[in-house]
Amino acid sequence: MGLSVTSPQNGSARLNENGRIVIPAAIRRQMGLTAGDTLLFSIDGDVLKLESHRARIHRIQESMRHLIPPDRCLSDELIADRREEARREMEEALG
């Protein structure tokens, strides 16, 4: 399996007979990849895209950020909802 890295953002690798490639070390470092990370593939036309699970979550969070006002805390709202639900359940059980 031959590989070469032309810059930290570009590289090449040869597909072996089992369909495997090695991601060049410079690219793994730049992407923050470590052994055991889950990688997600997608195809855009004839281009194969690769991103870490962590990067996809971050990308989706960033794309949704504009939908939530900065002064709103969804986790606090969720906790308040759950506490209210627990209070109602307790009242029903006692009542």
Local confidence band at 5 (pLDDT 50, 70, 90 cut-offs): very low
Count structural domains, the chain: 1
Q: How far is CA 41 from the centre of its chain?
A: 12
Task: For the full predicted model, state whether its pTM sits above 0.85.
Answer: no
Decide if 73 is inside a domain: no
Can you tell me the distance from the alpha carbon of 63 to that of 40, in angstroms, rounded to the nearest whole number?
A: 18
- Domain CATH number, residue 58: 2.10.260.10
Local confidence band at 22 (pLDDT 50, 70, 90 cut-offs): very high
Question: 25 or 95: whose pLDDT is higher?
Answer: 25
Decide if 19 is inside a domain: yes
CB-side exposure of 67: number of CA atoms within 13 Å?
6
Task: Give pLDDT tens digits for 42-89.
Answer: 999 999 999 999 999 999 999 998 998 989 999 999 999 999 999 999
